[in-house]
Amino acid sequence: MTEATGNDRIWRLLVVDDEAIVGKRLQQVFGKMGFVVESHTSPAVALEAMAAQPFDIVVTDLKMEDIDGIEVLSRAKTINPAAQVIIITGYAHSETENEAFAKGVFAFIAKPFRLDELKQVINRALDELRQQAVVPSAE
Amino acid sequence: MEPPAASQFSIPFKKFRRILECNNAVIEKIAEMESALGGEYVFDQAFLRSAVAELGKLVREVVYSLNDLSDNRFLPLYDRFEAIHNHLQDLVSSGPGPYADHLALPYYLLNRDLDHLVGAKNANLGEIRNYLHLPTPDGFAITGAAYNLFMEENDLFVQIEEMAKAVTDNTERAARISEMFKAAVMPTSLQETVREQLAVLVAKIGSRKQLSVRSSGVGEDGSRSFAGQFLSLLPVQPKLKNLLAAYQQVLAARFTAQVLDYLGDEVQVRAVPMAVAVQEYIPVRQAGVIYTLDTTAAQDRELLTITATIGAGAELVSGRTDGDRYHLSRQHPFAPVRSTLCGQTGDDPLQIGEDGLRRGSATLERGFFTPLAEAGMLLEKAFDRPQDIEWGRDDNGRLVILQSRRLNLPPRPPPQPGRVAAELRQAVLLMQGTGQVAQLGIGSGPVVHVEADGDPADFPVGGVAVCRYASPQLSGVVRKAAAIITDVGSATGHLAAIAREYRTPALFGTGNATEILNEGGNVTVDAEEKRVYAGFIKGLVALQASAQDEPYLSTPEVRTLRRMLRWTAPINLTDPTATTFQAVNCHTLHDIIRFSHEKAVESLILLHSSEKIAAGTSSRDLQLPLPIRIRLIDLGGGLGADLAPEGEIPRQQVQSRPFNALLEGMLGEGVWDREPAPFGLRDLLSNMSRPLSALTNAPAYSGDNLAIIAENYCNLSLRLGYHFNVIDSYLSADPDDNYIYFRFVGGFADKEKKIRRAALIASILNSLYFKVEQQGDLIVGKVKMLDQDHMTAILTRLGELVGFTRQLDVRMVDEQAAESYFAEFLERTRQPFPADNQG
């Protein structure tokens, strides 16, 4: 069972998509799983929110006006190097994909996607986060 | 190299196959869109745009291919396609969609997604009437476009704006505007439209019924409720003059001082276009309001409130009178918790008793609470949020819904995610991760096991329905259920569509819900997560309720998808024998492909059975152990690759699956010479070979047996004696594509005998899963969409039947023998088929 709480702290999830429907949907689903979910249709506002308080997991659309998903990825990683960033997109060129992987993207998901797919990816991202959290304390 | 004739054939055949492929792709796309609407996918605008583009391309190709195949017999289909596709393109680019320029729309066309044209009051009533099937007054809407036309033609927008610059007092403004309206003239086209709609309505309800003319402002009931701001007039005489006068009054009331005050400093002349509802006036003996959620009750004690008064409810709604007030539990059986009676008893007030109280003065009897509460909960579920419902009770005691709109509630803060997750962690999880989401949402209530043939009237509103199959017969249950879970069924079936209509959270195909979920136990279903919890999970329900500012299901994308599906998914053309089965009656893309599929099969058969095809074709004979000649044309894959270039084609070189199955039956041992002959065949079939050879050697028929085959296909035109049989079949791994078409006509003996025999054949075909139509001695049988093994078995039996009929024709000793023979045949066909369950 997916858990965003439990023994560890409450994880923070950011959704950036210029279409409100995606954030609304994900907010419903991941709220139930115990995440604190913030969703923004404006990437600029999302970056401000990130700067104010970092997020553990960022789900971002790739193609947006002004600021694209790659930029969101870079900023998220700068602010919180441990952050796991998932890019959702209808189409991605391999160049974009390579660039994203170079910048440390956790996964790509193609729209439209099943929620199960995204949940699985977010579960893996959570595992990653938990491991990162465990390693320093073991040293 | 292919013989020329074969390549000539292969073009129409390729077209035919392409039509099938496109049909399947369209059906898959529709299923995907329906799944997205149900909540299976997270989608966005790009998904909607690509869906329209893809569907357009596929259906256009179907229409083109069909016309190509049929010498352009179905040209009107292009117009239908273009019209529907234009609607879809308009919808997906956020346009107003279909009907945008209509001045009036009858209620049977309305649904919730037309509120931008006819106002929410009309649109919701249409939805309630046409989809939720609750009693409502019949009528028509005069649209926002009609209002704009009226205002433009009388130059009122400009005049009012000019006046408002000079005059700032709203009372003075209202008086001036009222004068302008008095001087205004009803546009001719609008008069004409209203006249037509009125005539249709009066024809339906009768000329003795009066009308109600009510405001239905576009944008009313949106972010601002405008509750009680506009005008309703009733009763109005059902005459054009009276109706138009009332209409004009309702329009004018859009600009009363009160409304102007409500709208603020700006006149906002173009805001809230005034659409109007013209309805049958239903005299009521009781009326009132339902609040599906009591706004005054404490949050942990959720109640439903009904108010009721004697006579029409207008006084009650406007606050001029106090009705009885009943507070009920929101759970079935909706037990009354408390009530406030005002002692109103109509014409004859009850005497005050010795204790100073009036007796028996409740307006409603308790038995009427249930239908009211049920309607309330149904509407709340369907419209995503608590409702404010006007109801009436007509002279027959029947409940009529007069209006339903969102109940404005103070926003509730969403529960803390951590707390919901904690509550869920402690909850007992009964089911998880199985099944498909047919409609997302959260529903909670007692488990009720149901059977498809049970009476939906027995099902308690708000129960969680648990059943074995997602049978379409359960639609009455889905309507009332808080959620539905089935063992078997898919998110793209018929019942799933119904669940989406009623917004009933639905989880289909879980495998074992009927075993796990015990009758009567309370559960909470979270369809989205595919989870069922024991008991009532408050946090989940609260989470759902807190999203009420704009629920997911009301987001623009979901609305667009729902509107698109209305022009895509439903099938109206179901009966190919109906006179309405015509291109011009295709109203959705599904109609078009359904129609095209039927007509493509028909066209192919026409093409292949026409005499000109048989003439001059370069074909080769099939080597048969019978004195009968069948010529073969291979369209591709129907014959072995290592076939010798000339001479008769050996049987074992036939690779066509359907043709092989037919041959298997036609040449079967039992058909020709089984010894000892079963069913008393010996007599019947004695000297069989002589008449047969005589028959096939007859010049009039030689060469007329023709089989056009491909790997998955065969079209056999078989003339035997006076018979002309056509068997057309396509077999593939996908059952949706598979079909067998069998046409049997033929002269033998006198008419009575022919018809008797035809009836016998029809009953045999019936037993083989054929859908049979019989007209005189013409029989047309069709079987579709069974799996390949099943179809193969049927074809083999059909081959046997063909053999039998031939022999009967040759040696039709007497009718009685023939009948007993067929009876034996019927017995044999009752042997089980592989996968013997009819789809």
Cα separation, B75 vs B45, in Å, equals 33
Q: Do both B241 and B296 map to the same domain?
A: no
Cα separation, B390 vs B753, in Å, equals 66
Q: What confidence tier does B389 reach under pLDDT thresholds 50, 70, 90?
A: very high
B418 vs A5, A19, A26: nearest CB: A5
Do B42 and A22 count as a contact with CB atoms less than 8 A apart? yes
Contact with chain A for residue B46, Cβ under 8 A: yes
Is B114 domain-assigned? yes
Estimate the crossing angle of helix A20-32 against helix B417-426, to 10 degrees. Answer: 50
pLDDT the model gives residue B657: 93
Contact with chain A for residue B540, Cβ under 8 A: yes
Do B421 and A4 count as a contact with CB atoms less than 8 A apart? yes
Do A111 and B529 count as a contact with CB atoms less than 8 A apart? no
Opening angle at CA B80, ends B75 and B81, nearest 5: 95
Query: Mean of the pLDDT values across residues B491-503?
Result: 81
Is B751 domain-assigned? yes
**What's the per-residue H, E or C state across A104-133?**
CCCEEEECCEEHHHHHHHHHHHHHHHHHHH
Do A19 and B36 count as a contact with CB atoms less than 8 A apart? no
Q: Estimate to the nearest angstrom the gap between the alpha carbon of A121 and the chain centroid.
A: 10
- With tokens 């919701």, the residue in question is B124
For residue A31, the chain B residues in CB contact (below 8 A) are 414, 417, 420, 543
pLDDT the model gives residue B592: 96
The answer, yes or no, to whether residue B6 has pLDDT greater than 70, is: no
Higher pLDDT among residues B267 and B454, named by residue: B454
Query: Mean of the pLDDT values across residues B732-760?
Result: 70
Q: What are the percentages of helix, strand and coil residues in chain B, rounded to 5? A: 45, 20, 35
For residue A22, the chain B residues in CB contact (below 8 A) are 42, 44
Q: Do both B43 and B132 map to the same domain?
A: no
Distance from the A3 Cα atom to the nearest Cα atom in chain B, whole angstroms: 8
Host domain of residue B318: 284-347+359-406
Do B47 and A90 count as a contact with CB atoms less than 8 A apart? yes
Q: Do both B270 and B289 map to the same domain?
A: no
The answer, yes or no, to whether residue B675 has pLDDT greater than 70, is: no
Is B757 domain-assigned? yes
Q: Which phi and psi (to 5°) does residue A60 adopt?
A: -130, 145
Q: What is the pLDDT of residues A61-97, one digit of tens each?
A: 998 888 999 999 999 999 999 999 999 987 667 788 8
The identity of residue B286, as a single letter, is Q
What is the residue-averaged pLDDT of chain B? 81
Q: What are the percentages of helix, strand and coil residues in chain A, rounded to 5? A: 50, 20, 30
Domain boundary among B261, B280, B299: B280
Domain boundary among B232, B253, B280: B280
Query: Mean of the pLDDT values across residues B671-676?
Result: 38
Q: Do both B365 and B474 map to the same domain?
A: no
Q: Do both B659 and B800 map to the same domain?
A: yes
Cα separation, B612 vs B617, in Å, equals 9
Q: Do both B644 and B601 map to the same domain?
A: no
The answer, yes or no, to whether residue B477 has pLDDT greater than 70, is: yes
> CA dihedral defined by B275, B280, B282, B287, rounded to 10 degrees?
-20
Cα separation, B202 vs B193, in Å, equals 14
Q: Can you give the CATH number for the domain in which B376 is found?
A: 3.30.470.20
Beta sheet of A36-40, edge-to-edge order:
A36-40, A12-16, A57-61, A84-89, A107-110
Q: Do both B51 and B186 map to the same domain?
A: no
**Number of domains making up chain B:** 5
Which of the listed ranges A20-29, B165-174, B340-349 does the model predict with the highest average pLDDT?
Answer: B165-174
Q: Any residues with CB less than 8 A from the CB of B139 and at least 6 apart, and which?
A: B106, B107, B125, B201, B211, B212, B277, B278, B279, B280
Closest by CA to B678, choosing from B762, B792, B804, B806, is B804
Do A21 and B43 count as a contact with CB atoms less than 8 A apart? yes
Q: Can you give the CATH number for the domain in which A55 is found?
A: 3.40.50.2300
Is B718 domain-assigned? yes
Is A129 domain-assigned? yes
Domain boundary among B551, B569, B594: B551
Query: Mean of the pLDDT values across residues A32-38?
Result: 88
Do B424 and A32 count as a contact with CB atoms less than 8 A apart? yes
Is A18 domain-assigned? yes
DSSP category for residue B649:
B
**Number of domains making up chain A:** 1
Question: Which stretches within B154-187 are classed as H helix?
Answer: 156-166, 170-183
Cα separation, B515 vs B459, in Å, equals 19
Closest by CA to B287, choosing from B305, B304, B310, is B310
Q: Can you give the CATH number for the domain in which B440 is found?
A: 3.50.30.10
Is B562 domain-assigned? no
Q: Across-strand partners of B387? A: B406
**Secondary structure (3-state) at B509:** coil
**Concatenated DSSP letters of B558-573:** HHHHHHHHHTTS----
pLDDT the model gives residue A33: 84
Is B354 domain-assigned? no
Distance from the B237 Cα atom to the nearest Cα atom in chain A, whole angstroms: 47
Do B425 and A6 count as a contact with CB atoms less than 8 A apart? yes
pLDDT the model gives residue B343: 61
Q: Can you give the CATH number for the domain in which B212 is found?
A: 3.30.1490.20
B44 vs A3, A111, A118: nearest CB: A111
**Secondary structure (3-state) at B492:** coil
For residue A112, the chain B residues in CB contact (below 8 A) are 36, 41-44, 47
Q: What is the pLDDT of residues B624-650, one digit of tens each?
A: 877 677 878 787 788 888 877 777 888
pLDDT the model gives residue B349: 52
Lowest mean pLDDT among B137-146, B191-200, B259-268, B474-483: B259-268
Q: What is the pLDDT of residues A88-139, one digit of tens each?
A: 987 667 788 888 889 999 999 988 898 889 999 999 999 999 888 765 544 3
Q: Do both B236 and B336 map to the same domain?
A: no
ipTM of the complex: 0.86
CB B730, CB B712: distance < 8 Å = yes
Host domain of residue A68: 12-138
Q: Do both B452 and B370 map to the same domain?
A: no
The answer, yes or no, to whether residue B619 has pLDDT greater than 80, is: no
- Written as six digits, the tokens of B431 are 């089911």
Element (H, E) at B785: none
Do A21 and B552 count as a contact with CB atoms less than 8 A apart? yes
Closest by CA to B485, choosing from B498, B472, B504, is B504
Q: What confidence tier does B221 reach under pLDDT thresholds 50, 70, 90?
A: low
Residues of A (18-77) whose Cβ lies below 8 Å from B: 19-22, 24-26, 28-29, 31-37
Is B798 domain-assigned? yes
The answer, yes or no, to whether residue B508 has pLDDT greater than 50, is: yes
CB B474, CB B497: distance < 8 Å = no
CB A14, CB A49: distance < 8 Å = yes
Closest by CA to B626, choosing from B544, B557, B753, B720, is B720
Closest by CA to B795, choosing from B661, B672, B705, is B661
Q: Do both B467 and B383 map to the same domain?
A: no
Is A1 domain-assigned? no
Beta sheet of B522-526, edge-to-edge order:
B429-432, B531-534, B522-526, B442-449, B464-469, B483-488, B506-508, B436-439
- Written as six digits, the tokens of B578 are 């109906």
Q: Do both B691 and B631 map to the same domain?
A: yes
The answer, yes or no, to whether residue B117 has pLDDT greater than 80, is: yes
Give percent of chain B above pLDDT 70.
77
Q: What is the pLDDT of residues B335-372, one digit of tens each?
A: 888 888 776 555 555 555 565 555 556 788 888 999 99
Closest by CA to B77, choosing from B684, B479, B599, is B599
Q: Which phi and psi (to 5°) does residue B164 adopt?
A: -65, -25
Query: Mean of the pLDDT values across residues B789-800?
Result: 88
Q: Do both B395 and B462 map to the same domain?
A: no
Q: B42, B430, B530: best mutation site toward chain A, by most A Cβ within 10 Å?
A: B42
**Secondary structure (3-state) at A22:** helix
Query: Mean of the pLDDT values across residues B586-612?
Result: 77
Is A4 domain-assigned? no
Residues of B (386-425) whose Cβ lies below 8 Å from A: 414, 417-418, 420-422, 424-425
CA distances from B606 to B463, B528, B648 (A): 54, 50, 27
